[in-house]
Amino acid sequence: MSPARPPRRRRTDGQDEAGQRKADQRKAVQHRDVQHRDVQHRDVHDPDGVRLQKVLATAGYGSRRACEEIIAAGRVEVDGARVRELGLRVDPAKAVVHVDGLRVQLDTSLVTLALNKPLGVVSSMHDDEGRPDLAPFVADRSERLYHVGRLDTDSEGLLLLTNDGELANRLMHPRYEVPKTYLVTLDGRVPDSLRRTVLRGVELEDGPVKADHYRVVDRTPQQSLVEIQLHEGRNRVVRRLFDQLGFPVTRLLRTQIGPVHLATLKPGRTRVLGRDELGTLMASVGL
């Protein structure tokens, strides 16, 4: 008889989140690399520009010495060309710079925030009907921010706010198919067969919709908690999907947009996306 295998150590939530973030980053880099191949021998030097190591240091990649090591190691691309020259100068307003495959945001005036939108709040910076809107949550910000996509008033969770028009346009464009993940509470106990149905697709009045991912988190005879991921952006599509299947939504929480996770962000609170998180998000839409 062969010896029994030792029990596998269960991963903690922190380990799972860290692993997921790394996987998201790898996928985003692979997606970007399809569009941005290394270009050899391209002259990307701008004699009137700023030294590349200074640009990277300003963007948060450490001291100038540390940034010189990053450049010398071949980890930096400028306008699609991998560079190693320490004397290289670039125009921060025009150059497209990537480190380890992730876009570097060189414009310090641009900011992207994650907001945990509370229940009952309209996805608008100003509501003409006087309903609670997004403005109070960013009242301390000097930038003029816009919401990326929407969440229904009776839905809650992750919403992105930014003043980066190019990033916002790409995130909302169907071409890039940015996935969105939801935790959905349903009225009734869902059968196991529902997974195959939502992954194959369900016909709605404005066309078919199918999930990229679906799993049952918990269920009782009275209700079910499921996680579903879609790259759809149609109005109330998650609610309409489950209504069509006979399981009305009683609560909907968006937990993820592309590589950005809601994680432990409390309702009504915001946070600025981190450097790598923003770079991964930009890479996922080809920036």
Given the candidates 3.40.50.720, 3.40.50.10470, 3.30.70.580, 3.40.50.300, the CATH classification of the domain at 112-174+260-284 is: 3.30.70.580
Work out the mean pLDDT of the chain and round it to a whole number.
87
Say if CB 212 and CB 231 are below 8 A apart: yes
Residue with tokens 């059968």: 191
Residue with tokens 């290289």: 88
DSSP state of 139: T
pLDDT at 169: 92
What distance lies between CA 185 and its chain's CA centroid?
Answer: 23
Q: Which of 79, 100, 152, 276 is catalytic?
A: 152
- The two tokens of residue 227 are 């996680």
- The two tokens of residue 168 are 């916002």
Beta bridge partners of residue 117, listed in sequence order = 157
What confidence tens digit (pLDDT) does each residue in 163-179 have? 999 999 999 888 888 99
* DSSP3 helix / strand / coil % (the chain, rounded to 5): 30, 25, 45
Q: Where are the chain's structural domains?
A: 35-103, 112-174+260-284, 179-257
Q: Given this structure, which CATH class describes domain 179-257? A: alpha beta
Instruction: Centre a 10 Å sphere on the Cβ of residue 65 and count the other Cβ atoms it contains.
Output: 9
Count of residues in the chain: 287
To the query of whether residue 152 is one of the catalytic residues in this protein, the response is yes
Say if CB 283 and CB 101 are below 8 A apart: yes
Q: Is the pLDDT of residue 273 over 80?
A: yes
Q: Is the pLDDT of residue 40 over 60?
A: no
Output the DSSP codes for 62-86: --HHHHHHHHHTT-EEETTEEE--T
Q: Is the pLDDT of residue 26 over 80?
A: no
Among candidate residues 264, 232, 262, 283, the one with its CA nearest the CA of residue 113: 262
Q: Is the pLDDT of residue 266 over 70?
A: yes
Q: Return left, alpha or beta for 60; rule: phi > 0 is left, psi -120 to 50 is alpha, else beta.
A: left
pLDDT at 37: 44
List Cα–Cα distances, 173 to 29, 38, 166, 177, in angstroms: 19, 26, 11, 7
What confidence tens digit (pLDDT) does each residue in 203-223 have? 999 999 999 999 999 999 999
Q: Which fold has domain 35-103?
A: 3.10.290
Q: Output 196 or 8, whichever has higher pLDDT.
A: 196
pTM for the predicted model, two decimal places: 0.80
* 35-103 against 112-174+260-284: fold identical: no
